[in-house]
Amino acid sequence: MENFFSDKVMDEANEMILQHYGLNPKWEHTDEFITKSAVEVIPWFPYREGNTKLDTIDKDEKMNAITSAILKEGWQNLYCMAMFSKQGSKGQAWHQDCAPENKGIYNLNRLVYTHDINTTTGGELVIYPETHKAGILPAGIPDADIEGQMVYAPKKGTLIFVHGHCWHRVKPVKSAYRISTNFRTVPLGVPEDITDICVYRNMRYKFSTSEVIETR
């Protein structure tokens, strides 16, 4: 959904997030994770630090009404996660945010873009359509193209909803930085640790313990 948020709201959010990171933040994940996953994104959870400056987005009535229309039986906020990628970094390899074996247990991403993403900046979002119903992401090269994928170049102010079982990735970053924010939700009754285990093409990874729990 393009032009969902105003330039003013996006500029304020982008500046606040940049103030947190700077342009050369330290990697948060282990070297093993970065090497095996082909993921070079640095997460930040502002609300866990008491920073509520993204409330204008998080409490947007229109966004939350659409969320309610998608998750008809009710939902709750999971967390807000800002994601920063450095210039020249790989972005994110193919993954599913949570295990897909139980189709009724999943998260819903609400991705908000505070600056333009395009072929010049890199960092485009790649999605394989309808794979939220396709089961597990096939094993293979973590960040290789898959025939049938679709590439999106979100403009500033764009809102994208992505089902947690959907196969998706982020292309390498060319510009000084890439920022996106994810206001994650879950249907009522879904465990709050649903995104602790992420599925990649070569492994399953458990973030809370920083370990590979399955090699694929």
Query: What residue ranges of the chain have pLDDT lower than 70?
Result: 24, 26-38
Q: Is the pTM of this model over 0.85?
A: yes
- Establish if 188 belongs to a structural domain: yes
- Establish if 2 belongs to a structural domain: no
Alpha carbon of 125 to those of 49, 136, 137, 163: distances in Å? 28, 19, 17, 14
pLDDT of residue 34: 55
pLDDT of residue 31: 64
pLDDT of residue 126: 98
pLDDT of residue 182: 98
Angle at 142 between CA 122 and CA 84, to 5 degrees: 40
Number of structural domains (the chain) is 1
- DSSP bridge pairs for 214: 204
- Establish if 142 belongs to a structural domain: yes
pLDDT digit string (tens) for 52-88?
Answer: 999 999 999 999 999 999 999 999 999 999 999 989 8
For residue 201, the enclosing domain spans 7-215
- Establish if 1 belongs to a structural domain: no
Count of H-run helices and E-run strands, the chain: 4, 12
CATH number at residue 166: 2.60.120.620
Q: Across the beta sheet with 42-44, what order do the strands follow?
A: 42-44, 75-86, 177-187, 108-112, 159-163
Strand, helix or coil for residue 57: helix
